[in-house]
Chains A and B, each alone.
Chain A
């Protein structure tokens, strides 16, 4: 990984022309997007590139044991545009109140603890060509499959140059790459009478991996075919096996919200020491996890990204803070200022959002449950849940659930026929003594996978509520 010597210094240029009293902060991005949209094997649309350069100015105005926060984003980099943005931020800061007496923004000494791998050199140098090459590799991966085709899809490459400056003297800038892929696989052919089936898959990562495509496409094609013959599951409380791709849609949203200073301020955060999960469950927040979409050398305020323990043996260990929410509790920032993230949606145009608090990459330490096959065997009679429709949970109550798009019955400790339709649900996280995914873990797999902003092994939960035929 060789980042370019010079990344855009947009925030510095805005800061140099800022006429405002401190504390202030400028977060800026120069963004280049390259997109290929597919209609079957035809390229329907190429976007190459779409450009946006903008900044968000945050002003912090201490007064009478409170802090007024004001934020204004703009893509007008003229002197007048910056003046207007400052005026907008001052105006709303005068009407805002946050319960803290003072705030300490990250200073120049806070930055830099070596490289965090979030930058793909090939993508950076040849974004459109690399995306095209990936699309061609995708087509080739479908060649052996006679009854399954790509019906719809897109490959989006985003090159981001983030820069942050503040009144404490911080000047930090770094480049990073993001790739978003979306594919819909349509299955047809025998048996007679069965309609077409579709498997829809999306992913967000730091780089493209064409070498993995043949295996991935084979799995997608199998899932799309299995959709055609799948039947609804039984109704009842059953052991359920959750691969990392499924857990990713459930746990980070709840843990990332409830384990923060903001949740503590609202009296929603769990108390330190509360036993929420089983023995042997160790969960971390890691802002420097290699190649995660949530990683970077700093958080979105410029504080160093780090690793923090959320659960040790199932008990709450620590909470996560940004500078503002930390100030309310006299706690230092843990490097968890995050912009543009909510309800499972990650906005790459971060400069349009003020910093909030959230987890970065949730890391679940591998356990002794063994391989996926061993977890299935341990489940005995249950369900392997491959994909839910929209599982994103209620952040406050922790309840999650959704329609089964594709899964498999587990019978006698082996994967059996596919299931589809009906729902699976429960609580992701619940107060001590209440059933939840964390408190009902019957097996933690031994192999960790990174999917989006979750690095976790496969999990066996016993039981979850299944509603079907």
Chain B
């Protein structure tokens, strides 16, 4: 992987590396928000044209965000307008390294100053061959056009939905309140490069969460239901009266939940948990920048059979209306479906333009920036377990004794050591092939390869879901990532968490 140097603009008067900050900030005191990022195309192209004199390849990604949301409970109604931010990041090949610069705002002067800074950095490059990998030449314009845009629903509409949810939840004895959050975010990105790529996309993500709170003798517990996808009002369709009442019943049941079992036992993961399993176990391990760092336990296992024939794990940036779906990644590669594990065999990793070079693999449309302020990494989109042919009843019967883990709350990978941790809000004991007592929150721990090899069945497509979530790289750079799948039966260590 080539070194990347990222600076913004200028150089301090004494010649030290840095920039004339006040100059740049003054430049950002510019024009109002423009109606469409494409209106800035001339200014963005001017940056590329200017850089073409100094580099064999340059690219620019402009971004603009907006949105609104509502937080509602029994006592408070808080409507929020989401941040309106805009800016651009410019990257160019310096012969032996990448150089990159970012600016706040899209005014011509700020972009010009950014180009000037890059020109100075490019002047330090050694040779001017082409950059590693294949430059995108994709061209396209894709805009979400949901049938029922959340922006049309508005705060008033969101408030109506939230009040209904609160009303349904508090009909359940012991449930006195319900935190409801509903909102939408629009992320508009415009990518241009000197190889001819021109990719415009406007993604609108609708999301909601309902969390009824149950009270008893000074104790408080809750359960939650999340919804999120590309698109509009349809994302909230799962917040039905029966679903919310069942959720509130579940919150109340948390008050009398028994302690989860401890030790190595049979585990049945619900779709939210199996999705997090796919994300943490294989997703992070196959982000091939970790291959380049020699920091993935999976790297030497490519091509090997690691799990049962009925297990297939996928990352799919083109999943229709998926929470983590993208039309184009931030190198201009189209979002696509990449099979990581095909019927038990580890066949594919996630690549940017560079990381696939050693294995002759093309970019997979997984280069993502959290925003225009953040660097690009290889990242997941929607990661899931493909359906098998077991019904839930058959899986529970096969488990005989163990625990069902429900409603994933978090996960964390161990890319070199091959361990993983998944946490869930609650579960059910499985005894004599039947679901029995509710148990409280717990963590699953284990070696990924052991869990894979122990997999004894995956559920049918009837149970398939993709849940909305956010994924970090290290401890930052959070971005939308979908996780999902079907029920999955295996063996692992579980305990209170």
Contact = CB atoms under 8 A, between A and B. Distances in A.
Tell me, yes or no, whether A binds B: yes
A345 B28 contact: no
Interface string A388-415: 0110101011011111110000000000
Interface stretch (B134-142, B309-317, B440-448): B440-448
B430 interface: no
Contact of B79 (A49, A54, A70, A197): A70
A107 interface: no
Given A35-B6, A465-B496, A76 B33 contact: yes
A116 B17 CA distance: 30
A390 B412 contact: yes
A284 B218 CA distance: 23
Interface stretch (A86-94, A168-176, A293-301): A86-94
A92 B155 contact: yes
A384 interface: no
A468 B263 contact: yes
B156 A95 contact: yes
Contacts of B493: 232, 421-423, 467-468
Contacts of B497: 399-402, 423, 425
A44 B474 contact: no
B32 A81 contact: yes
A72 interface: yes
A4 to B, nearest CB: 12
A382 interface: no
Grouping DSSP codes into helix (H, G, I), strand (E, B) and loop, the A interface class, with mixed when no group exceeds half, is strand
B78 interface: yes
A48 B5 contact: yes
A47 B33 CA distance: 27
Contact of B262 (A73, A235, A349): A235
Interface in A90-141: 91-93, 95-99, 126, 128-129
Interface stretch (B289-297, B320-328, B455-463, B483-491): B289-297
A345 B446 CA distance: 25
Nearest to A198: B416
Interface string A41-56: 0111111111111101
Contact of A45 (B4, B103, B262, B292): B4
A394 B29 CA distance: 42
A231 interface: no
Grouping DSSP codes into helix (H, G, I), strand (E, B) and loop, the B interface class, with mixed when no group exceeds half, is strand
Interface string B90-121: 00000000101011110000000000000000
Contact of A469 (B28, B264, B293, B441): B264
A467 B32 contact: no
Which of under 10, 10 to 19, 20 to 34, or 35 or more describes the interface residues of A?
35 or more
Contacts of A423: 262, 421, 442-445, 493-497
A270 to B, nearest CB: 9
Contacts of B4: 37, 44-46
Interface in B60-85: 68, 70, 73, 75-85
Interface in A19-58: 30, 32-33, 35, 37, 39-40, 42-54, 56
Interface string B147-191: 000000001100100000000000000001101000000000000
Contacts of B443: 389, 401-403, 423, 425
Contacts of B103: 51
A421 B213 contact: no
A397 B441 CA distance: 10
B215 interface: yes
B15 to A, nearest CB: 13
Contacts of B179: 266
Interface in B389-442: 409-412, 414, 416-417, 419-421, 423, 425, 440-442
B220 interface: yes
A302 interface: no
Contacts of B259: 465
Contact of A403 (B3, B104, B213, B419): B419
B219 to A, nearest CB: 6
Interface string A171-212: 000000000101010100000000111100010000000000
A154 B474 contact: yes
B97 to A, nearest CB: 9
Nearest to A186: B416
B7 interface: yes
Contacts of A198: 295, 414, 416-417
Contacts of B440: 399
B93 to A, nearest CB: 14
A421 B176 CA distance: 39
Which of B76, B104, B222 gathers the greatest number of chain A CB atoms within 10 Å? B76
A201 to B, nearest CB: 10
A96 B78 contact: yes
Given A71-B80, A401-B423, A402-B497, A47 B474 contact: no
Given A78-B32, A154-B474, A401-B496, 15 more contacts: A37-B375, A48-B8, A49-B18, A52-B87, A56-B83, A81-B32, A81-B33, A95-B155, A389-B443, A390-B412, A396-B213, A401-B443, A403-B412, A421-B447, A431-B217
Report the 3 A-B pairs with minimum CB-CB distance, sorted nearest first: A401-B497, A467-B495, A80-B32
14 contacts: A35-B6, A45-B375, A47-B6, A51-B102, A75-B86, A78-B31, A266-B75, A397-B222, A401-B496, A423-B262, A423-B442, A431-B218, A467-B495, A468-B263
Interface of A: 30, 32-33, 35, 37, 39-40, 42-54, 56, 69-78, 80-81, 84-85, 88-89, 91-93, 95-99, 126, 128-129, 151-152, 154, 180, 182, 184, 186, 195-198, 202, 227, 232, 235-236, 265-268, 345, 349, 352, 354, 389-390, 392, 394, 396-397, 399-405, 420-426, 431-432, 434, 465-469
